[in-house]
Structure 1
Amino acid sequence: MVNINGILAWIGYFLAAYLLVVLLIYFAMMIFAVYKINRNRRYERTMDLLSNTEAYNLGVSVLVPAFNEEQGIVQNVSSLLNLNYKRFEIIVVNDGSTDATADLLINQFLMKPVQNVTIEQKLKTAEVESMYVSNLFPNLKLVNKLNGGKADALNCGINVSTMEYVCTVDGDSVLEKDSMKKVMRPFVLEGDRVAAVGGTVELINENRVNHGVADKQIEFSPNPLVAMQTIEYFRSFLIGRVALSELNLMLICSGAFSVFDKAMLIENGGLARNVIGEDMEIVVRLQKNITKHRLNKLIVHVPDAICYTEAPETLKVLRRQRRRWHQGLLESLTAHMEVWFNPRFRALGVIAFPYFIMVEAFIPFVEVLGIAYLIAGFFVGQVFVEFSLFLLMLSLIYAGLMNTISVMLHSWQQDKYPDAAELAYVLGLSFTEAFWFKPLMLFWRLEGFYRFFTKRSDWGVMDRRGFSESKPEVVS
């Protein structure tokens, strides 16, 4: 006869142990985050000194892959042209758009066609049809090519680029004026030791973007779906990635804003065209080869180098995004299974990959187990009811603490602190997260598993509202 009580007891012990381990991991990450953000604040005080050195003459080719980006491409390029940086070029790669993306750029920036275009195929890509250069800004180029996907567009941009570093920026994003200087700081301080650097992505919904310059006045949207995503981004970029960066165990630099040593990208075959999460896969591949060949290289996260993007505002669009993200995570991890728990790859194999496998990739199954345990516990006996309520309360307290600390770290970094109403809003969302947001994330992550195992790789349409030119009313 099956001992239901015994099975539930062991499941309860497992869930409690798992939750405790996760709490300890995030507590350690928070310590790293405080240390790194404090160090960045010290660097910020010497920014003027650094900006006057010749070191910031490092050349950067900013690559913007664009497929049907007419809603935000002009603002995107305007923000790049406004960058406070000495030596850079902007290459917009129009990946077979069917909307007015190319026409808007040509008209807005008075672009003229380049005759007799010859591009060295360092990386194989779909055919380039034409190239344009702006009459107003000689460092702005537009490349029109046949559709081949985002990775193919970036590889094409690498082929066209003339600088020693390449920066990837999504077509629906805008950069802060000093963000390039900040993201290049590790290359300045560490030189050839740095292989890649990732910046921080923040949400700009309901804020003003005028001629590519973000005027962020509303931090937390009155739309709970967007506000919850804002808190998520704080957690990810200001705690998780900061800690992994300090240990040189970064496995992802956001494709929305990252800089790479171009020579290393070409040497490693460029970005993979057969995966959804090309931004994660290339970083995993770089880390694997760096460790395998015992190269003295770093992959770094810079929390104060800010890129703004628009978050999904509807469940339909958010669903597409999150199931793709999880599918991309699974593809990147399984493409390099030789690293899993392998001591030959040092900390990458026994710390970084296990963390992403157990805490990120397979968390949906743990959450399903937890939900099943909570439901079963209410039907079996008083002890399990009490233990279930204990686990639930621990999860809620953990969520509230993590979210509050994430918001305060962001505020500390920006020197802009939330008022009591904003903190109350964050705490309220934190305590409701487990009852609406997390179940949605769970279901969509499980969809990501399904799509991964069934080899479905369609990207889907990402509906966007576009950046606002007018100043919104600030909700007090």
Structure 2
Amino acid sequence: MDNIFILWSYIIFGICLIFPIFHIFNSLTSLRKKPYYQKSEIKLSEKPLTILVPCYNEESIIKTTILGVGGLNYKNYQYILINDGSSDHTFDIMEEMLDLEIHKIKPNNGDLVFSTVKGIYRSKKDPRIVVIDKFNGGKADSLNAGITYADNDLVITLDADSILDEKALQVINRAFEDPNLIAAGGTVNVLQGRRLRNGTLKPTLKVKSIVKLQIAEYFRGFFIYKASLATVDALSIISGAFGIFKKDILIKVGGYRKTVGEDIDITLKVQQYKSKKTGLKVAYIPEAICYTEVPETWKGLYNQRIRWQKAFMDCTVLYLKELLYTIFKSPLSFFFLIEAIFVGVFCAFLTVIGLLTFLFFLGNSKVVLIYAVITLVINLVYNMAGFVISYYYQNRFSYKEFLKIVFVLFFDIFFFRFFLLVCTISGTVQYFINKEGWNKVARTGRQYHIEQEGKFF
């Protein structure tokens, strides 16, 4: 019996190792191929874009959000802030900073459902900026309202604490020269890990340890994991912090569903639509970058990850039947079920059960030690690859910060991964006990527009 248990543990352990090794090599290999949107340097005319920013009780960050608009190196855009029934001073700050006036605008379609709009306003300072003031309905509800009033065919969705890099819209403009591209995700970097030096935004690790760990996590999450999945057409999540969609596709799939996992849900909807057509594409654009605020307390981070895990489980339950039907036909279904569900969730429980079994029942500490060493090496290489690839995308830290990078690499392996394991298990269990309670994660309240030498970008 013991031998059978150990054999199965070897098989499962091997499966768990295959995916990170695959993603490391796949993401590194993809760097050798220059993306099509960078092959030509011919100046293109600017496509009209609409940027949607849902806002709920964002008084601590909304000034930075609005000031960030001034750093966009692009002219042909509409910027819609959707005030989702905020109970704080979010709308008052918008009104003060933007000098709002009533804006008479008709919805461009009537297919999407959302809470009643109280008023629509336009900035006297910059007519490209529009504010939709509506009753509270949630993020998905707000995005549906924004889509309805969007003037342009290309829609960008951002969180209120997400600030676009000055080159992001130019990159998107080039990428969507491909008429078959219907949706894409950009790269999300940590806002706290940036400092303005001599007019240029530079990465830094002079931040709290909890932020350092998230900087490394975002590097490997986007530059390795998302980049690798995109190359095999298996991208299942376009981050809610930064996504780009063709408006007509969003309308055809019924817009956003009211769920905390609206980013996973809309991505799977778009992927379903794409699978029924020929030649359409969903992509990851690593050169299109935004900066987002991350939690600076362990309680805040825990709450965020519980929310993310509940969202993931909610979409898993909803789409499970179709994913199972196409598991060997669709790369997305295969990676979602085998890697994200089996390795990411099921094996999280098996890891805890297996360790306890080995240590307290089988007494085979050598097997545990072998597993631990192999896991440590793979995770260390995975982390290092994240920093190496981030360097390729201009995330270049000073030599003085080398020791901090080493600290991050090892602290991640010996502590942060276990913290994330607890979040995965706890979030999964909580989903089946209580699907509600997905509260908005609190902002840090930091004044980035003041910290960044009195201006942002």
Report the equivalent of 2:417. Answer: 438
Amino acid in structure 1 at the alignment position of 2:424: R
Matched residue SS, 1:70: coil
Deviates more, 1:123-132 or 1:366-375: 366-375
Aligned CA distance change for structure 1 residues 459 and 202 (closer, same or farther; 3 Å): same
Q: How big is each residue's C-alpha offset from its partner over 1:191-248, in whole Å with a ceiling of 9 and x where there is no partner? A: 1x112110111112164479xx983341x34422111111111111001110111111
Matched residue SS, 1:303: strand
Q: In the alignment, does 2:201 pair up with 1:215? A: yes
Offset, 1:38:
4.1
Contact 2:54 2:139 in 1 (8 A): yes
Matched residue SS, 1:205: helix
Q: In the alignment, does 2:96 pair up with 1:107? A: yes
Report the equivalent of 2:387. Answer: 407
Contact 1:186 1:300 in 2 (8 A): no
Offset, 1:448:
1.2
Q: In the alignment, does 2:30 pair up with 1:36? A: yes
Contact 1:403 1:427 in 2 (8 A): no
Report the equivalent of 1:396. Answer: 376
Offset, 1:149:
0.2
Instruction: Give the Cα separation in 1 of the matches to 2:107 and 2:387.
Output: 49
Normalised by the length of structure 1, the TM-score is: 0.87
Q: In the alignment, does 2:231 pair up with 1:238? A: no
Instruction: Give the Cα separation in 2 of the matches to 1:118 and 1:60.
Output: 17
Aligned CA distance change for structure 1 residues 411 and 10 (closer, same or farther; 3 Å): farther
Report the equivalent of 2:18. Answer: 24
Report the equivalent of 1:71. Answer: 60
Q: How big is each residue's C-alpha offset from its partner over 1:337-392, in whole Å with a ceiling of 9 and x where there is no partner? A: 1223324853333344332222333342133234324533xx644xx211111111
Report the equivalent of 2:51. Answer: 62
Aligned CA distance change for structure 1 residues 399 and 418 (closer, same or farther; 3 Å): farther
Contact 1:288 1:345 in 2 (8 A): no
Deviates more, 1:16-25 or 1:317-326: 16-25
Alignment coverage as a number of residue pairs: 449
Instruction: Give the Cα separation in 1 of the matches to 2:334 and 2:109.
Output: 40
Which of 245, 252, 256 is the matching residue for 1:260? Answer: 245
Which of 87, 90, 93 is the matching residue for 2:76? Answer: 87
Instruction: Give the Cα separation in 1 of the matches to 2:241 and 2:127.
Output: 24
Contact 1:111 1:132 in 2 (8 A): yes
Contact 1:408 1:417 in 2 (8 A): no
Report the equivalent of 1:98. Answer: 87
Aligned CA distance change for structure 1 residues 347 and 424 (closer, same or farther; 3 Å): same
Contact 2:113 2:144 in 1 (8 A): yes
Q: In the alignment, does 2:321 pair up with 1:338? A: yes
Which of 115, 129, 140 is the matching residue for 1:140? Answer: 129
Offset, 1:117:
6.3
Instruction: Give the Cα separation in 2 of the matches to 1:40 and 1:234.
Output: 20
Report the equivalent of 1:289. Answer: 273
Instruction: Give the Cα separation in 2 of the matches to 1:63 and 1:444.
Output: 30
Aligned CA distance change for structure 1 residues 87 and 247 (closer, same or farther; 3 Å): same
Matched residue SS, 1:307: strand
Contact 1:204 1:216 in 2 (8 A): no
Matched residue SS, 2:256: coil
Contact 2:72 2:167 in 1 (8 A): yes
CA RMSD of aligned residues (A): 2.5
Offset, 1:70:
1.2
Deviates more, 1:119-128 or 1:18-27: 18-27
Which of 431, 453, 464 is the matching residue for 2:443? Answer: 464
Which of 179, 199, 204 is the matching residue for 2:186? Answer: 199
Report the equivalent of 1:122. Answer: 111
Matched residue SS, 1:130: strand
Matched residue SS, 2:31: helix
Report the equivalent of 1:426. Answer: 405
Which of 29, 44, 61 is the matching residue for 1:53? Answer: 44
Instruction: Give the Cα separation in 1 of the matches to 2:28 and 2:164.
Output: 24
Aligned CA distance change for structure 1 residues 325 and 456 (closer, same or farther; 3 Å): same
Deviates more, 1:399-408 or 1:201-210: 201-210
Offset, 1:133:
0.3
Instruction: Give the Cα separation in 1 of the matches to 2:367 and 2:232.
Output: 36
Report the equivalent of 1:361. Answer: 345
Aligned CA distance change for structure 1 residues 451 and 395 (closer, same or farther; 3 Å): same
Q: How big is each residue's C-alpha offset from its partner over 1:242-285, in whole Å with a ceiling of 9 and x where there is no partner? A: 01111111100001111101101101000111x21100111012
Aligned CA distance change for structure 1 residues 415 and 464 (closer, same or farther; 3 Å): closer
Contact 2:233 2:331 in 1 (8 A): no
Instruction: Give the Cα separation in 1 of the matches to 2:425 and 2:200.
Output: 35
Contact 2:216 2:408 in 1 (8 A): no
* Identity of matched residues, %: 26
Deviates more, 1:165-174 or 1:73-82: 73-82
Offset, 1:294:
3.7
Aligned CA distance change for structure 1 residues 209 and 167 (closer, same or farther; 3 Å): farther
Gaps of 5+ in 1: none
Instruction: Give the Cα separation in 2 of the matches to 1:117 and 1:225.
Output: 45
Contact 1:342 1:350 in 2 (8 A): no
Instruction: Give the Cα separation in 2 of the matches to 1:12 and 1:186.
Output: 49
